[in-house]
Amino acid sequence: MTFIPDDKIDAIRERADIVQIVSEYVSLKKAGKNHKGLCPFHPEKTPSFTVSEDKQIFYCFGCHTGGNVITFLMRHENMSFPETVQHLAKRYGIEINEVRSQESGVRSQKEQMFSMNQAASEFFIKNLQTDSKGAQNARDYLKKRGLTNDIIKEFKIGYAPDSWDGVLNFLKYKKSPLDIAEKVGLIIKKNDRYYDRFRNRLMFPILDVQARIIGFGARTLGNDDAKYINSPESEIFKKGEVFYGIHQAKAYVSKAGYTLVVEGYFDLIALHQYGFKNSIATMGTALTENHLVKLRNYAGEVYALFDGDEAGRRAALRSVPLFLDEDTKARVVLIPHGIDPDDLLRKQGRESLERCIKEAQSFMDFLIDETKKRFDTTSSRGKIAFIEDVGRYISKIKNNVEKNFYTEKTAHLMQVGRDVVVSAIKQNTISKPQTARIKPSGKEVALSRVSGARLAEETILKILVFYPNFYSERIREVIEAFKDSTLKDAGRFLAAKHDSNMDEKLCIADLLDKMPDENVKQWFIKTSISDIEDIKENPEKILDDCCKKVISYNIDREEVKGLLKQFQEADKTGDRKLLETAAKQFTEKKKKLL
């Protein structure tokens, strides 16, 4: 059991604005009274993720996921309820007693890991300022790379001393659990002894979007074979999903409308120092599918920086299928051969990179230009090879307008008919089997009647959500006649809420945690965030009509069969009294409900 006072949870919800928090993860745009963006929980190219500032809830009409600010963070950051409450309480300065629960006991390891990394980061920062020879060398190196004191502080750069037990002794002094330190990779166990993993290295803490330190990158200042090493993967650190600098960049990415992606700590820091604050870096790896899924939440387009040499161009070409498969708008930024972004900025200034960004090509345009260099397109054989090669990529484009554009462009370049390129595209497209149109069966017709009943039931509850003053005892009886179990449970929840406080306006965000059934919860969220165009003209009449429909749909069929049987028996026996009694009971029941 979790013991968090309701008043604390309510205070957190009141302070934590859902639009502000979701905007840190998703690029939201105003859409009427709500905000919309691409869903962070499933791939999509048309925004269906909706956030209501008024109701403080979110809902995705694509994957049917919804909730309040607490449930959003729980799902997005994979945190438990107690962890989320504590995180928000800390952010908004709300004092809350330590959560004591079986769940928090199990999940507290993650919090210990974050705390361990935070303590280690403070140790590294402090060590960078010491008088040791190693620290002086570290400061000299940072100065040589042109980093200012302000940027060093902003990115919390530190120094791991040239010692086998520097961090180890610090953690022992702090009485920190060494098994946790081993799990986050600060120390290594060998022959029943612990040793520091990072020695004589510049330390770059890697922060998540919530500014929690999830791991470290480290650059050697000695002669180690591995110039750069990272923390090992752990429960809180997944290298293939992480961006260095995402915490610093997130607000600027949304404003700029695109993300600059580089590889390397110093390149990223230099970009920020020179004002390109919408920049992030991969952890020494190529972009992955998981990277792109996360990037979609922040901005609509990705600008990926590559070296202009042959190796850089090949790396850019290898990225094309990934961007097409993930339906991500992306551009290739090529910088002059033999120079990295850090050097470019220091030697040629901000304007030099701005020119490169301005000249950036879409990945498809880049691919076409690079592919053309590989074939002799003056010959028929070369043209065919070019068209077949480019056709493989055009077939992956999901946007029909874009697909048609590059089909026409390829045909124009090769001076062939459009149908030639279309044939090449079709060779690489797996045709989907056509589904035959089948005449509805009797069972399907019956199901249509059931769906009509459900629509009536749903409309009744929707009206009660937006017009709670229409609730009555008659409505309660109609709800009990509902056939859909989820809607019946939702109706009963509404009835109980009205019984407890008839005059209080429903606040769905506050009620979500009190709803035991997830289906009921999601129905309330979806309904609360939807528009009311279909009911606002005459809600009272619509409510009355729907109540009548529900009753007519739900008259007990067995009872009807029983009456018919009694009629038949009466005809045989002449017992008209039995027939009149049954008919009267049936009529009275129907009148009472209608």
Q: What is the pLDDT of residues 517-556, one digit of tens each?
A: 677 788 888 888 887 777 877 888 888 888 888 887 766 5
Q: What is the CA angle 227-228-233, rounded to 5?
A: 150
Q: How far is CA 468 from the centre of its chain?
A: 33
Q: What is the DSSP letter of 185?
A: T
pLDDT for the residue numbered 277: 95
Taking residues 576-582, report their average pLDDT.
Answer: 68
pLDDT tens sequence across 254-277:
778 789 999 889 999 999 999 999
pLDDT tens sequence across 167-190:
999 999 999 999 999 999 999 999
Domain with residues 6-100, CATH architecture: Alpha-Beta Complex (3.90)
Does the pLDDT at position 38 exceed 50? Answer: yes
Q: Which fold has domain 106-237?
A: DNA primase DNAg catalytic core, N-terminal domain (3.90.980)
Q: What is the CA angle 343-126-94, rounded to 5?
A: 105
Does the pLDDT at position 386 exceed 90? Answer: yes
First to last CA, the chain: 45
The residue written with tokens 């972004």 in the block is 341
Q: Output the CATH code of domain 238-374.
A: 3.40.1360.10
Domain ranges of the chain: 6-100, 106-237, 238-374, 377-427, 443-554, 558-593
Q: What percent of the chain has pLDDT over 70?
A: 84
pLDDT tens sequence across 133-165:
999 999 999 999 999 999 999 999 999 999 999
pLDDT for the residue numbered 108: 67
Contacts 24+ apart (CB under 8 A), 104-107: 104/2, 104/80, 107/79, 107/80, 107/82, 107/83
Whether the CB-CB separation of 280 and 243 falls below 8 Å is answered with yes
Model confidence band, residue 509 (pLDDT cutoffs 50, 70, 90) = low
Contacts 24+ apart (CB under 8 A), 411-416: 413/368, 413/372, 413/377, 414/377, 414/383, 414/386, 414/387, 416/383, 416/387
* Angstrom distance (rounded) from CA 188 to CA 178: 10
Q: Report pTM.
A: 0.65
* Angstrom distance (rounded) from CA 72 to CA 49: 12
pLDDT for the residue numbered 448: 39
Beta-carbon contacts of residue 368 (< 8 Å; ≥ 6 apart): 390, 406, 409, 410, 413
Reference 87, options 211, 205, 273; nearest CA is 211
Question: What token pair was written down for 129?
Answer: 């300022």
DSSP3 helix / strand / coil % (the chain, rounded to 5): 55, 15, 30
* Angstrom distance (rounded) from CA 51 to CA 33: 9
334 forms bridges with which residues in the sheet?
Answer: 306
